[in-house]
Amino acid sequence: MSALPEKTRSSNNFNKLKKRLEREVGKAIGDFNMIEEGDRVMVCLSGGKDSYTLLDILLTLKARAPIDFTLIAMNLDQKQPGFPAEVLPEYLQRLGVEYRIVEEDTYSVVREKIPVGKTTCSLCSRLRRGIIYRVASELEITKIALGHHRDDIVETLFLNMFFGAKLKAMPPKLHTDDGRHVVIRPLAYCAEKDIARYSRAREFPIIPCNLCGSQENLQRKQIKQMLAEWEQQYPGRTANIFTALTSVVPSHLADTGLYDFNNPGGDIGEGDTVFDPPQIAGPGLIR
């Protein structure tokens, strides 16, 4: 059998990658009931690979979805120096998708409040979150879609564990405390490396994410590095850690608020396996 020409091979590979991402996004949407009939979904676009991929895949899925919903792309122009303000409107106009660009100079606020050299991300994201919620109310949005993926979720799990002493990650779907907004993360099952490959192949007009001049959070950087080393040594480990988040056994943890150890009963997960060795599963099984 003759080998396939390079061009055909790479187009086959791209199609496989595209199908995988679509399948994973479709599954996340189904598993968490992320999008329903009549929803107005605001897709937050930063100009990075993740949010471009999110919008792209959602548009594809919408075209063949059995339900009707609206997608509205939203970008917050935070007035960072050198932000190419024309890139996203041009891209979105070409796509023909409804969009809203919101201009708010959070950059100056952050610069004024945080000394030079300190990490500005936490204030910056707090301000951004407030604006996103306000715009969502103005546009009568029912779901706010963010581009966080599986690797972001696993990194957050370790950040919270190592630096906050909490077993807590980033949920695929979240109702805000005041009950006014629902945040969804349709890329929750997607690996960052797949998104990066997809984004390169689709040649999205990426806007660099370091315009604000802030250093990436050092702790997150360390966690990323740790996970990358693990992944190299034990391929499939990140996927396994994510899958563990979908298969929690409260009776085998130590949170008295989550499980009544004085009055055991009901579903105790895998039962009395106290002297059993830990289970070894295959890599990356999303059930």
For binding to ligand SF4 (CB under 6 A), which residues are involved? 120-121, 124-125, 212, 214
128, 135 contact by CB (below 8 A)? no
- Measured CA to CA, the distance from residue 72 to residue 182 in angstroms comes to 15
Nearest CA among 16, 77, 20 for reference residue 46: 77
As measured in angstroms, the least distance from the Cβ of 133 to ligand SF4 is 16
Residue 209 is assigned to a ligand binding site: no
Nearest to ligand SF4 of 12, 125 (CB atom): 125
Nearest to ligand SF4 of 142, 214 (CB atom): 214
Tokens of 90: 């041009």
As measured in angstroms, the least distance from the Cβ of 28 to ligand SF4 is 24
Tokens of 128: 């951004």
As measured in angstroms, the least distance from the Cβ of 262 to ligand SF4 is 44
Nearest to ligand SF4 of 48, 236 (CB atom): 48
Residue 121 is assigned to a ligand binding site: yes
Residue 44 is assigned to a ligand binding site: no
Nearest to ligand SF4 of 125, 247 (CB atom): 125
As measured in angstroms, the least distance from the Cβ of 124 to ligand SF4 is 3
Residue ranges of the binding site: 121, 124, 212
Residue ranges of the binding site for [4Fe-4S] cluster: 121, 124, 212
